Amino acid sequence: MTPEHLIPVSKQLSRILRHRPESVGVVLDANGWCDVVELIAKLAEHGTTISLEELEVIVATSDKKRFSFSPDRERIRASQGHSVPVDLKLREKAPPPVLYHGTVRRNMQSIMKAGLLPMNRHHVHLSPDVATATAVGGRRGPPVVLIVDTHRMHKDGYRFFVSENGVWLAEVVPAKYLRAK
Ligand code: HQG
């Protein structure tokens, strides 16, 4: 678990590395990587003082392994969840027979009509089990869990990807593959 005092920094890192690098003046390369030294310097300029050791603690303890270092440890990136255009070189993989998606009731009418769409992110995020989907949906209110017939989707030619931190991703999920749990 990420130490309590580093959680706000971890959330700020998610925001910077997935959505708003320009908010602190860092640049992500085509694959989403950001120079570690530059990141620490820019964070300091914007009022967040963090050491390399603390950054390493955040990366190592993030419950969902949200971030990773490059092999030479000179760069850092978010493993998934981006809204900025980056190519994560995701691995395409055959999915398990079912996956789950956690959402909230107010989205249901639109989802059952249009299917699951990536909205602001690059992909639709799917969970491997009901507990995870319940937690994802629960971020926004009383959760509703959908069962995705990934077996049939895959057979019908839809592609699935897994991020470095084990999140299942799809480009879309048409409504006919969804049913409420
Ligand atoms: C909904 C967190 C209306 C969708 C989580 C969701 C996850 C639609 C919202 C990860 C829709 C998008 C991703 C449609 C989809 N009509 N609503 N047609 N299609 N939606 O945050 O899956 O902690 O982009 O149901 O744990 O909630 O940030 O996706 O409610 O793993 O690492 O539109 O983010 O991880 O919301 O969450 P999001 P998500 P982190």
In the chain, which segments carry CATH 1.10.10.970?
A: 4-78
Q: What is the pLDDT of residue 164?
A: 87
Atom of ligand 1 nearest to the CA of 136: 26
> Domain 4-78 - what CATH class?
mainly alpha
pLDDT at residue 57 in the model: 97
Please list, in sequence order, all residues whose beta carbon lies within 8 angstroms of the beta carbon of residue 126, skipping any fewer than 6 positions away. 95, 99, 100, 101, 148, 150, 167, 168, 169, 170, 173
Q: Which 8-state DSSP code applies to residue 46?
A: T
DSSP characters for 162-181? E-TT--EEES-B-GGGEEE-
Q: What's the gap in Å between 3 CA and the centre of ligand 1?
A: 26
Residues of the chain with CATH 3.20.170.30: 91-180
- 10-residue averages of pLDDT along the chain (181 residues): 94 97 97 98 97 97 94 96 94 96 98 97 95 97 98 98 93 97 87
pLDDT of residue 181: 87
> Which atom of ligand 1 has the smallest separation from the CA of 104?
30
Can you name the CATH fold of 91-180? ADP-ribosylation fold (3.20.170)
Atom 4 of ligand 1, nearest CA residue = 103
